[in-house]
A and B are shown apart, each in its own frame.
Chain A
Amino acid sequence: DWLVSFRSLTQVKYGAVSASVAQTNLHRDCRWYSVSHLSVRERIEKKRKAALVGGGQKRIDAQHKRGKLTARERVELLLDPESFVESDMFVEHRCSDFGMEEDRNKFPGDSVVTGRGRINGRLVYVFSQDFTVFGGSLSGAHAQKICKIMDQAMTVGAPVIGLNDSGGARIQEGVESLAGYADIFLRNVMASGVVPQISLIMGPCAGGAVYSPALTDFTFMVKDTSYLFITGPDVVKSVTNEDVTQEELGGAKTHTTVSGVAHHAFENDIEALLNLREFFNFLPLSNQDPAPIRECHDPSDRLVPSLDTIVPFESTKAYDMLDIIQAIVDAKDFFEIMPNYAKNIVVGFARMNGRTVGIVGNQPKVASGCLDINSSVKGARFVRFCDAFNIPIITFVDVPGFLPGTAQEYGGIIRHGAKLLFAFAEATVPKITIITRKAYGGAYDVMSSKHLRGDVNYAWPTAEVAVMGAKGAVQIIFRGKENQAEAEAEYVDKFANPFPAAVRGFVDDIIEPATTRKKICSDLEVLASKKQVNPWKKHANIPL
């Protein structure tokens, strides 16, 4: 169980944390110990100063040498200049064992910087773990500070951004530290769907600590300097005898391409923080706010003639769904989520006439754009985020169906595919769907179809809505008969076009691709006042 392995990890990996306790007399200059001869004001000043340098210059230098910024530098870069309002700068840990009670082992603010600030003028709550203080380890006080700003974020209705850089639990505190994790987890869960929560992993995040990012809406990582795992390579070696490096086990590449734990990775701290600012612009502050609208320079009725030729004539030939998305959204600005994981589905944020929208699209370029376990789960989680935060969903469909095979069936494609179906079906935000080419079989139903309460469903002239491709269909209908080719041609004529769906009203209109942007923008304008409520329930039971 994870508790055991998590403890052993923190011991193995962060024995360094306790060793560091004895060295702190190096920082005597900037710290305060005996207070009798100073006034309260002077003591306040001293404490504030001490808080600003965290674990001291030597540790700061070490942090920089690793290619990492300090907790405060990160906050400063993330937030608008001079907008940071810090809380709990005077909080100290309460541990009295193993010499921790000594003054030299007390750091004002402890190992996390917390507060609120603004990103492009918009309110956000932030915590930033300070690796220079006890390796950023989580004490009861540390957890309490985080919980405080999370509680405030919930009462006000503003997002929480966590900058994670922590060795794990504060071993000296034992169960107090574990309790602290649980307190945070509970708040993550309570805040889920109420305010957006974003985790940016900027250093180690291991053991139980990983579950906080995992509970938040988005997890971003910094390449080469961050990693996430339940147990480190040493424990892995002793338990399963696998040789694996930290990077292979839980680095940014692993989590953005293999495990799907992280949603994006950035080159370094600075790029990650600047991108996080950009990402934040897309999000509403809470579930009480509509999707934000930013000033837009791209005409909402711009025609996109290049779309008229983008779908190849041969229905077996691939094209890049990103080309369509970028041509349609405002100023080609598309923030892709999980760009390197389950690439057969594309999800991300963009704007239409300034308003944030969530985009979901099958990617014909990868695995023909089929739905499989990973793409279903990736899509489902994104759709649910959008629905929770009032972000309209625009779905581009070119899907040949669910991926067949034992690997998929044994892996539970039925229950994972159901997640995406569930997510689209329960979503009450404006839903606009464009079938660009194939919409075959059950996958047609799943991809935000009219039947799942799609508000506006369009088909391009190249659309084919059918149970399956012509060849397969003919083999079943005309099994053993001659003239298969003729039958196939007949099937193509009947079904490889948008009419069967259009005559039944399953698509609202067949539109010229060039007009897609214009249509979507005008539909979104109308749908802004959409009100739809699901039946009362404690919560739904999505097939997890």
Chain B
Amino acid sequence: MAAHSLSPPLSRLLFTVKYVSLHSRCCAVHSKAHYSTVYNPNEKTFDKILIANRGEIACRVIKTCKKMGIQTVAVHSDVDSSAVHVKMADEAICVGPAPTNKSYLNMDAIMDAIRVTGAQAVHPGYGFLSENKEFAKRLAAEGVMFIGPDTHAIQAMGDKIESKLIAKAAKVNTIPGFDGVVKTAEDAVKIAQEIGYPVMIKASAGGGGKGMRIAWNDDETREGFRFSSQEAASSFGDDRLLIEKYIDNPRHIEIQVLADKHGNALWLNERECSIQRRNQKVVEEAPSTFLDPVTRRAMGEQAVQLAKAVQYSSAGTVEFLVDSKKNFYFLEMNTRLQVEHPITECITGLDLVEQMIRVAKGYQLQHKQEDIPINGWAIESRVYAEDPYKSFGLPSIGRLSQYQEPLNLSNVRVDSGIQEGSDISIYYDPMISKLVTYGATRNEALAKMEDALDNYVIRGVTHNIPLLREIITHPRFISGDISTNFLPEVYPDGFKGHQLEVDARRELLASAAALYIAAQLRSQKVLGDQRVSTIPVKCTHWELCVELGKGCHAMEVTKSGDVYNVEVDGGKVEVIGAFNLASPLLPLTINGSDRMLQCLSRDASGMIVLQYLGTVFKVRVLSKLASELNSYMPEKVPEDTSSILRSPMPGTVVAVSIKPGDTVAEGQEICVIEAMKMQNSLTAARQAKVKSVHCKPGETVGEGDLLVELQ
């Protein structure tokens, strides 16, 4: 599909910004100077590249291809036929139905696509076939270039057991553990006991946190073994597991390496990826606040040693765990472009995809180690379609009914593969985008991130912006005091959203009141000649009550022009804003400081849902009269849910562990739901007898669907 078919008519005014944003992302993003190196148009690489991936990473690769004048071929599953990457690419081939093993992992179909389109090279992105040596072999057999390391390196580093041995031999620090394949759960327990708890059980073929479990005792080891092998089998088609010493409270810091086919290798500094949930990264930054130049160099050099030891070429990442004493241990090497590569691009100025393509063609690296700078600071937030209030993020699905990236801000990069109207489905990763901000200093980058998160409009799916914003404004994060246990330590009882201080609460209440009044006044603005004249309410002073949570706050508001003076809870708040009641964004000046609020919904009964400081608050604004009378309204008793188990997310039922009549203990597993390739065990909230079971293995369930009833 031709990219120019996306171009909208150019005669639109302001409101078309949303519509052209995709276009500007495709074409104009590079003019925003994410990269400082200059592309050399005389350096011939490939005529046509097939991108064996979907979503944001496919779009990301296509962008660089366009810059380099390379034709692009997208592959897609049938449900993705109108996806952004398909529209961006010059050609697109459908490679099968939605499930990944039938489409994006379908090597036969992808090989056919390569033949049909005559692509000379394949960029695999990350995930899917990116670290599949079989795929690399088949490409090589047909003389198609794989844009990545050669098969040998993929094989060597792809296997965690082998990679550890090689790392050890290359004098890279490694973690104590068992260097063999674990065969049974009992094996796992025995090995774990030998290493000493806690231990980490992980898929030998794995990566990206999939198929990984931490165990603190024998029972957890058995359970972890079962889960990890299942997840490993479904995600990687390889259920081999390994076990190693689990380093408590470590930081996750990784080194980006770049190597060519001529024996040259560089380290492009580090990325700190310690903020994780369930071993999946959430917020990353480059550089790390924790590393001093000496440690950085030591890690960088070891990473390069490892790369050289396996004759690595292309971009790769060597992951380390770093303990509080700055001891670092080799974790694994990812032989592909990493999700979080943009932050390295921001601080080094290199276009990693461009470098990968050059290297694949056989060119030497353009840079020397001393040419690699650390320019400023970059932060990446992974914006996910998931509910952060449930275990820091359970997948959510839906249609992006409204979607606006904060690209109006400077120093913001958004890598995404979706647009307004896109579906986030159960078939694929629930990532919406990678939001990257950068600045001369970390504080600048952080301040920009705050702004960018506040300006990011996402409607139709639940998303994790509340959590992201809380993380990047948390004092511990700001001071750099983080580890991979950051989330469970900071939110031991789970994430509960932003906790409002007195001033912030007043500001929220005042903003809601101002919005309410603006909407009320607009209701009286009837245009045109009236047969019976309209008599607007002459009111410049309002007495309101605003409910937030359990509390009800009386307030008085006076308005003159766009200035609302609000007295609430004994404090005064001045809100200035020209409310556009059709816009999701509410730019306000509250007590002199600029704030971006978002209005998610507003209804006739005074309910206003606002996103403020990242978190969504439900506020109800009532006139004083309505509020007084509201006390007579009966309280409606909500449904008793303690004896009902509903699916917390959309997904597939993998196993049902009970049947009607069984007695379950508190915490006992009832069933397992797989969503977005993660298996989630649902447990009984209390001891009870099972009344009825409403699901069976293999069934697809939606969020809130009734699974099991207890007595």
Using CB atoms and an 8 Å cutoff, list the residues of chain A in contact with chain B.
64, 67-69, 73, 76-77, 80-81, 83, 118, 120-123, 156-158, 224-225, 266-271, 274-275, 277-279, 281, 285-286, 288-290, 292-299, 301-303, 305-310, 313, 323, 326-327, 330-331, 354, 514
Contacts and interface: CB of A to CB of B under 8 A. Distances in A.
A281 B625 CA distance: 21
Contact of A73 (B527, B532, B537, B629): B629
A301 to B, nearest CB: 7
B422 interface: yes
B329 to A, nearest CB: 47
Contact of B532 (A157, A306, A309): A157
Contacts of B535: 83, 118, 121
A295 B82 contact: no
A279 B536 CA distance: 17
23 contacts: A83-B535, A118-B535, A120-B526, A121-B526, A121-B537, A225-B634, A267-B605, A267-B633, A267-B636, A269-B629, A288-B531, A289-B530, A292-B526, A293-B528, A294-B526, A297-B581, A298-B582, A301-B15, A306-B399, A310-B421, A313-B82, A323-B399, A326-B401
B606 interface: yes
Contact of B632 (A68, A281, A288): A68
Given A121-B526, A292-B526, A294-B527, A270 B634 contact: no
Interface stretch (B48-56, B221-229, B517-525, B664-672): B517-525
A514 B82 CA distance: 15
Contacts of B22: 305
B674 to A, nearest CB: 23
Contacts of B580: 297
A278 B604 contact: yes
Which interface residue of A64, A309, A310 has the most chain B CB atoms within 10 A? A309
B593 interface: no
B605 A274 contact: yes
A77 B539 CA distance: 16
B81 interface: yes
Given A270-B633, A274-B604, A305 B534 contact: no
Nearest to A269: B633
Contact of B524 (A120, A158, A267): A120
Contacts of B19: 303, 305, 514
A224 B637 CA distance: 12
A410 to B, nearest CB: 34
B18 interface: yes
Contacts of A330: 582
A305 B583 contact: no
B15 A274 contact: no
Interface of B: 8, 12-16, 18-19, 22, 78, 81-82, 399-403, 419-422, 522-528, 530-532, 534-537, 539, 580-583, 603-606, 622, 625-626, 629-630, 632-634, 636
B419 to A, nearest CB: 7
A275 B399 CA distance: 28
A299 B15 contact: yes
Contacts of B524: 120-121
Given A269-B633, A281-B523, A323-B401, A302 B537 contact: no
Contacts of A326: 401
B341 to A, nearest CB: 29
A224 B539 CA distance: 35
Contacts, number: 147
Contacts of A266: 605
A96 B582 CA distance: 59
Which interface residue of B422, B524, B580 has the most chain A CB atoms within 10 A? B524
Contacts of A275: 604-605
Given A158-B532, A296-B582, A323-B399, A268 B626 contact: no
A118 B535 CA distance: 8
A285 B531 CA distance: 9
A315 to B, nearest CB: 14
B399 to A, nearest CB: 7
A67 B633 contact: yes
B630 A270 contact: yes
B634 A67 contact: yes
Which 6 pairs show the lowest CB-CB distances between chains A and B?
A306-B421, A278-B604, A67-B634, A298-B582, A295-B525, A331-B582
Nearest to B635: A67
A157 B401 contact: no
A132 to B, nearest CB: 14
Contacts of B527: 293-295, 354
B606 A274 contact: yes
Given A121-B536, A281-B523, 11 more contacts: A80-B537, A120-B523, A121-B535, A224-B634, A270-B630, A286-B531, A288-B531, A289-B532, A305-B22, A310-B421, A331-B582
Nearest to B578: A297
A69 B632 contact: yes
Contacts of A306: 399-403, 419-421
Contacts of A294: 522-523, 525-527
A292 to B, nearest CB: 5
Nearest to A122: B534
Contacts of A80: 537
A73 B18 CA distance: 46
A310 B401 CA distance: 10
B604 to A, nearest CB: 3
Contacts of A73: 629
Contacts of B539: 81
A298 B18 CA distance: 14
A84 to B, nearest CB: 13
B583 A297 contact: yes
A157 B531 CA distance: 9
A292 B534 CA distance: 11
B545 to A, nearest CB: 12
Contact of A307 (B81, B421, B526): B421
A305 B629 contact: no
Given A323-B401, A326-B401, A297 B419 contact: no
A279 B603 CA distance: 11
A296 B78 CA distance: 40
Contact of B531 (A64, A289, A310): A289
Which interface residue of A271, A286, A307, A310 has the most chain B CB atoms within 10 A? A271
A306 B118 CA distance: 33
Contacts of B604: 271, 274-275, 277-279
B532 A285 contact: yes
A313 B625 contact: no
Nearest to A514: B19
B634 A305 contact: no
Nearest to B16: A303
Contacts of A305: 18-19, 22, 419-421
B626 A270 contact: yes
B76 to A, nearest CB: 12
Contacts of A69: 629, 632
B685 to A, nearest CB: 28
A460 to B, nearest CB: 14
Nearest to B9: A303
Nearest to B633: A268
B559 to A, nearest CB: 16
Which interface residue of B12, B526, B583, B622 has the most chain A CB atoms within 10 A? B526
A331 B629 CA distance: 30
Contact of A270 (B400, B603, B605): B605
Contacts of A158: 532
Contacts of B12: 301, 303
Nearest to A299: B15
B86 to A, nearest CB: 11
Given A69-B632, A270-B605, A299-B15, A77 B625 contact: yes
A83 B535 CA distance: 9
A478 to B, nearest CB: 28
A331 B401 contact: no
B324 to A, nearest CB: 48
A64 B629 CA distance: 9
Contact of A64 (B534, B582, B632): B632
